[in-house]
Structure 1
Amino acid sequence: MLQNLNIIDLAIVKSLDLNLEKGLSVLTGETGAGKSILLTALGLALGDRADASYVRPDCERAEINLSFDLSDAPAAQAWLEENEFDADGQCLIRRTIRQDGRSKAYINGRPTTLQALKLLSSQLVEIHGQHAHLTLLDNEEQRKFLDDYAQNTDLLAKTNQAYLQWRSNHFELEALIKSSTELSNQEDLYLYQLNELEQLDLIQYDYIALSAEHSRLANLEQILQIGQLQLDLLSENEHQSANQMVGQSISALSDLSSLAGEFEEPNKLLIEAQIQIQEASSQLRHFLEAQEINPQRLQELENQIGIIHSLSRKHHVAHEDLPDIAEKIRLELNNLSNSTERIDELEKLVEQNKQDYFSFAKALNLKRTEAGKKLSVLISAMIQELGMPQGEFSISVIAQDINLPKINGSDKIEFLVSANPGLPLRPLAKVASGGELSRISLAIQVTTSHDKDAPTMIFDEVDSGIGGGIAEIVGQKLRTLGKNAQVLCVTHLPQVAAQAHQHLFVFKTSDAAMTTSQVKTLSTEQRIQETARMLGGVNITDSTLTHAREMLMSGMKK
Structure 2
Amino acid sequence: MLQEIRVKNFALIDEIHLEFDPGFNVLTGETGAGKSIIIDALGLALGGRFSTEMIRAGAEGALVEAVFAMEQRPDFELFLDGLGIPVEADGSLIIQREAGASGRNRCRVNGQLVTVLSLAKLGEFLIDIHGQHEHQSLLFPEKQLELLDQYCGAPCLELRAEYQRVYQVWRELVEEERQLRQNEAELARRVDLLQFQSNEIAGAKLVLGEDEDLLKERDILSSAEKLYQAATESYQALYDNASGQAVVELLGSAERALEHAAAIDPRLEPILQSLREAAFGVEEVSRELRGYQEQIQFEPDRLTEIESRLDEMTRLKRKYGPTIAAILQFAADCDQELAKIANREERSRKLDGELAEVRNRLGGLAERLSAERRAGAVRMEQAIMAQLAELNMEKTQFKIGLTQTETADGIPWAGKTVEAGAGGADRIEFLVAPNPGEGLKPMAKIASGGELSRIMLALKAILAELDRIPTMVFDEIDVGIGGRTAQAVAEKMLLIGGSRQVISVTHLPQIASMARQHFYIEKQVQGERTTVTVRALNLNERVEELARMLGGAQVTDTTRRHAREMLLLAERLRLNKNGVSPDS
What's the TM-score, normalizing by structure 1?
0.71
**What is the aligned partner in structure 1 of residue 180 from structure 2?**
176
Aligned pair 1:375/2:380, yes or no?
A: yes
In structure 2, C-alpha distance between the alignment counterparts of 1:25 and 1:119, rounded to whole Å: 25
1:120 paired with 2:122, answer yes
CA distance in 2: counterparts of 1:556 and 1:162, whole angstroms: 54
Residues 196-235 of structure 1 correspond to what in structure 2 (within 5 A)?
A: none
User: Whole-Å Cα distance in 2 between the matches of residues 496 and 27 of structure 1?
Assistant: 10
Q: 2-side partners of 1:67 and 1:12: how far apart? A: 22
Pick one of 463, 467, 479 that aligns with 2:494: 479
Q: Name 1:149's counterpart in structure 2.
A: 151
The 3-state SS of whatever aligns with 2:139 is coil
Aligned match of 2:565: 550
Contact 2:4 2:67 (8 Å CA) reproduced: yes
Q: Spell out the pairing of 1:319-358 with structure 2 (5 A cutoff).
A: 334-358=339-363
Percent identical across equivalent pairs? 37
Does 2:41 match 1:30? Answer: no
Alignment gaps of 5+ in structure 1: 192-315, 317-326
Instruction: Please show how residues 72-471 of structure 1 align to structure 2 within 5 Å.
Output: 73-88=73-88, 89-151=91-153, 152-178=156-182, 334-402=339-407, 403-404=410-411, 405-471=420-486
Question: Over aligned residue pairs, what C-alpha RMSD do you find?
Answer: 2.7
State the Cα distance separating 1:153 from its structure 2 match. 2.7
The residue that corresponds to 1:44 in the other structure is 44
1:122 maps to a residue whose letter is E
Letter in 1 for 2:432: V
Residues 458-490 of structure 1 show CA distances to partners (whole Å, capped at 9, x for unaligned) of 001111111112211111111111111111000
1:321-360 residue CA offsets vs partner (Å, 9 max, x unmatched):
xxxxxx9999777544543332233222222221221122
Q: How far apart, CA to CA, are the structure 1 residues paired with 2:501 and 2:381? A: 26
Distance 1:504 1:337, change over 3 A: same
Seen in structure 2, the aligned counterparts of structure 1 residues 32 and 345 have a Cα distance that, compared at 3 Å, is same
Give, in angstroms, the shift of residue 182 of structure 1: 6.8
- The reply to whether residue 502 of structure 1 matches residue 517 of structure 2 is yes
* Matched AA of 1:344: R
SS of structure 2 residue aligned to 1:387: coil
Does the Cα contact within 8 Å between 1:190 and 1:333 map onto a contact in 2?
yes
Give TM-score scaled by structure 2 length.
0.68
Q: Which moved more, 1:70-79 or 1:357-366?
A: 70-79
Q: Please give the per-residue CA displacement for 1:219-274, whole angstroms capped at 9, x wherever unaligned.
A: xxxxxxxxxxxxxxxxxxxxxxxxxxxxxxxxxxxxxxxxxxxxxxxxxxxxxxxx
Q: Specify the alignment match of 2:257 in structure 1.
A: none
In structure 2, stretches of 5+ residues that fail to align are 196-315, 317-331, 412-419, 575-584
CA distance in 2, matches of 1:415, 1:329: 54
- CA separation in 2, counterparts of 1:335 and 1:428? 52
Q: Distance in 1 between matches of 2:490 and 2:369?
A: 35
Q: Decide whether aligned partners of structure 1 residues 474 and 330 sit closer, same or farther in structure 2, where only a CA change above 3 A counts.
A: closer
Helix, strand or coil for the counterpart of 2:71?
Answer: helix
Q: Cα deviation per residue 1:70-92 (whole Å; 9 max; x = unaligned)?
A: 11554333211122222243322
Bigger Rg, which one: 1
**What is the CA distance between 1:544 and its match in structure 2?**
1.3
**Paired residue secondary structure (1:178):** coil
Q: Following TM superposition, by how much is the alpha carbon of 1:187 offset from its aligned partner in structure 2, in angstroms?
A: 8.7
Change (3 A) 1:180 1:433: same
CA–CA distance in structure 1, aligned partners of residues 421 and 350 of structure 2: 22
